[in-house]
Amino acid sequence: MRRTWTRKLWTAATATALVAGAAACGGGSATSSAGGNGSPKTLTYWASNQGAGLEADKAILTPELKKFEKRTGIKVKLEVVPWSDLLNRILAATTSGQGPDVLNIGNTWSASLQATGALLPFDDKVMERIGGKDRFVANALAAAGAEGRPPAAVPLYSLAYGLYYNKKLFKEAGIDAPPATWDELVADGKKLTGHGRWGLAVEGASYTENVHHAFVLGQQQGARPFTPEGRPAFDSPQQVTAVKDFVDLMAKDRIVNPGNAEYANQQSVTDFARGKAAMLMWQAATSSLKKQGMDAADYGIAPVPLPAKTPPGGKQVTSMVAGINLAVFKNTDNRDGALKFVKFMTGKDEQRILNKTYGSMPPVTDAYGDPAFETPELKTLRKVLADSAAPLPQVPQESQYETLVGNAVKKLFADAASGHPVTESSVKAELTKAKQQMPGGKG
């Protein structure tokens, strides 16, 4: 009796192992479609940290998920993942195939994650099921995957960089209007610096902030991070100028506190909120500033400055197309439910509620028309997003570009802060080093 049981058990175990092995082999091929609708009643959702903290996000999202459950009967298990972990968690999920059903991704990662094949492509058929692709703002959808391929995700929240300035400090220094050019920013910054206060705050040790600014300033100078053939070109003369100008705000112009070279946890927002710095380049700072006790009437928002004279090849870009995308994990065992959830989250009502709460902009056209999106801040940022924002390169190596160039700028800030000279050649050396660490970057 016992013997038969053992034998049965072994047979079952062997069969499972074989099936699992076969599934693992088939998982990556283009023809097979792993995933399906095995468990139609539950979904796991990884949200990114958009609010003032993980708990705040939970409090904001839970009522919305309950609404979804009421409508569809699908229970959504929510996990809010901090930004510092999100990419690693996604990579681990990609490797093991054990991931969430629906997840938020930084929109700049779209092409990199698309290359892994872990995300469900939103081809026309899939798009149809969530309401069609024409609903989305074109610029935002462009930052959801490589050009010419079906998007790997759909935009969920749109963001753009703006120059936040402290109205009171500006008035005290006798400045009427926010700077429109970098020369003006430096001149104003010098007037505002002194008595323990600084003209501008930067997040010098945060590679993501650094690379975003390096990209925008590079665009203004006419630099391209990648050649049309997709080879890295981080150390072009234009990019060197851009990065040097940025670091010089601390090194040469001295309108940035050298201590900012250590900042990586939003200390620059705190400095701005407390009046220790008069300007800040940030995306959707409103909710953080409010939490730090800064009144919305005390600051204004303007586009990030441009060069006084556009260099040859330079573009009038003042921000990257920033934002959060919503993706479906290809291995999901509730694909229909996942798409229903995407439709729900990108629907007009949810878009209004969530973007209002987070201070971001809806990437779907039909959500506008709500007075909440007509504040001066959002009007400025909407104009930036529509007219002067460029998406970060949508290439598979984007995430390497972010970390390598962002860290190069971090090192240069550290040099500037500890009194080492920052020269054209030292900037070029760091950027070349970053380039050479890219696959295919040795040429």
Partner 1 sequence: MPAAAKVRPRADHPRPVAPPPRERPARRLTARLRGPALPYLLILPALALELLIHIVPMAVGIGMSFLELTQFSIRDWTTAPGAGLDNYRLAIDFNAPVGQELLHSFWITCAYTLLSVGLSWLLGTAAAVLTQGPFPGRGLLRTLFLVPYALPVYAAVITWSFLLQRDNGLLNHVIVDQLHLTHDRPFWLLGGNSFFAIVVVSVWRSWPFAFLALTAALQNIPRDLYEAAALDGAGMWQQIRRITLPSLRPVNQVLLLVLFLWTFNDFNTPYVLFGRSAPAEADLISIHIYESSFVTWNFGTGSAMSVLLLLFLLVVTAGYLLATRRRTADA
Tell me whether residue 443 is exposed, middle or buried, using C-beta atoms within 10 angstroms of its C-beta: 0 to 12, 13 to 18, 19 or more.
exposed
Other residues' Cβ atoms within 10 Å of the Cβ of residue 429: 15
Q: Is 60 within 8 Å of 66 (Cβ atoms)? A: no
- Residue 211: name the closest of 341, 50, 398 by CA: 398
> Shortest approach of partner 1 to residue 121 CB, angstroms?
14
Determine the Cα–Cα distance for residues 131 and 46; give it in Å rounded to an integer: 22
Compare residues 180 and 414 and give the one whose CB is closer to partner 1. Answer: 414
- Least distance (Å) between residue 358 CB and partner 1: 25
Q: Name the residue nearer to partner 1 (CB basis): 260 or 357.
A: 260
User: Which of 133, 135, 410, 428 touches partner 1 by CB under 8 A?
Assistant: 410
How far apart are alpha carbons 206 and 190 in whole angstroms? 24
433: contact with partner 1 by CB under 8 A: yes
For helices 54-72 and 348-358, what crossing angle results, to 10°? 170
Q: How far is the CB of 275 from partner 1 (least distance, A)?
A: 15
- Which alpha helices (DSSP H) does 321-397 contain, by range? 335-345, 348-358, 376-387
Instruction: Rule CB under 8 A: say whether 108 interacts with partner 1.
Output: no
Return the residue of 228, 371, 439, 443 that touches partner 1, per CB under 8 A. 439
CB of 85 vs partner 1, minimal distance in Å: 11
Residues 384-403 that bind partner 1 (CB under 8 A): 396, 399-400, 403
196 φψ region: left (φ > 0), alpha (ψ -120 to 50), beta (else): left
Helix %, strand %, coil % for the chain, to 5? 50, 15, 35
Contact indicator for 327, 113 with CB cutoff of 8 Å: yes
Site residues for partner 1, 20-49, by CB under 8 A, read 24-25, 27-29
The residue (of 154 and 201) whose beta carbon lies closer to partner 1 is: 201
Report strand pairing: 42-48 vs 102-106: parallel
Q: Contacting partner 1 (CB under 8 A), which of 318, 319, 407, 426? A: 407
Does 437 participate in binding partner 1 (rule CB under 8 A)? yes
Alpha helices by DSSP H, listed for 193-279, are 207-221, 237-251, 267-273
Work out which of 115, 273, 294, 304 binds partner 1, going by CB under 8 A: 115
* Residue 167 DSSP class: H
Q: State in angstroms the smallest separation of the CB of 347 from partner 1.
A: 30
| Closest to partner 1 by CB, 380 or 403 | 403
Point out which span in 122-130, 148-156, 350-358, 433-441 binds partner 1 (CB under 8 A): 433-441
As measured in angstroms, the least distance from the Cβ of 318 to partner 1 is 28
Q: Which residues, listed in sequence order, are joined to residue 197 by a DSSP beta bridge?
A: 194
Q: Which residues bind partner 1 (CB under 8 A)?
A: 10, 24-25, 27-29, 84, 88, 91, 94-95, 97, 112-113, 115-118, 205, 207, 257-259, 261-262, 264, 396, 399-400, 403-404, 407, 410-411, 414-415, 417-418, 420, 433, 436-439, 442
